[in-house]
Amino acid sequence: METHTLQFVQHFPVGIECVWDFFSRPLNLARLTPPEMRFRVTGGSGAGHIHEGMRITYTLYPFMLVPVFWETEISRVEKPFVFEDVQLSGPYLHWMHRHEFKAVKGGTEMTDTIFYRMPGGVLGELVDSFILSHRLREVFEYRRQRGFALLGREKICNLPAGGPSPSPS
């Protein structure tokens, strides 16, 4: 089975600490996932930041009404430069997602690198070629646009994970 690699790079017009703060809070992942996927953190994260050994569970619907249950572990954290998560259980034979952050002129560059292996032998490779790799690119394009909107336009760096607090009535 082939190990596939996808890489996505984006820039944010804010400092590395702000970008790190946003991406190191698991609850923010739902804000970066296409709404039709109904992504939900179901356990392990609280409202805090990641740390090595943290286990997080999710439910999402990547294709129509088929739920996927996923558990990952944060396997590496080097604040504010890199963190990695690996799949403990879920749809892949192997999944490792590296998030790298670099201060650059005018803001921060973030690079997402994903290494994954599909189950199902030849059939799994066909599903990847015709469906999954395209869907992952769509998800990360959405994440790029949404991340820039949140960090570039809305200036959310001082807001809590999950969005602004409701205003008092």
- Dump pLDDT digits (tens) for 39-97: 999 998 766 899 999 999 999 998 778 899 999 999 999 999 999 999 999 999 999 99
Please check whether residue 116 lies inside any domain of the structure: yes
Residue 21 lies in a domain: yes
- Give the per-residue pLDDT at 158: 56
Give the count of domains, the chain.
Answer: 1
Examine residue 163 and state whether it is found in any structural domain, yes or no: no
3-state secondary structure the chain: CCEEEEEEEEEECCCHHHHHHHHCCHHHHHHHCCHHHCCEEEECCCCCCCCCCCEEEEEEEEECCEEEEEEEEEEEEECCCEEEEEEEECCCCEEEEEEEEEEECCEEEEEEEEEEECCCHHHHHHHHHHHHHHHHHHHHHHHHHHHHHHHHHCCCCCCCCCCCCCCCC
Does a structural domain hold residue 158?
no
Residue 164 lies in a domain: no
Task: Tell me the per-residue pLDDT of 118-156, one tens digit each, with 9 for 90 and over.
Answer: 999 998 888 888 888 999 999 999 999 999 999 986 566
Contacts 24+ apart (CB under 8 A), 93-102: 93/1, 93/117, 93/118, 93/119, 94/3, 97/72, 99/23, 101/16, 101/19, 101/20, 101/23, 102/16
Single pTM value for the model = 0.87
Residue 160 inside a domain? The answer is: no
Residue 126 included in any domain: yes
Say if residue 168's pLDDT is above 50. Answer: no
Does residue 165 belong to any structural domain of this protein? no
**87 compared with 160, residue with greater pLDDT:** 87
Q: pLDDT value at position 165?
A: 37
| pLDDT (0 to 100) of residue 167 | 35
CATH number of the domain bearing residue 36: 3.30.530.20
Domain that holds residue 16: 3-153
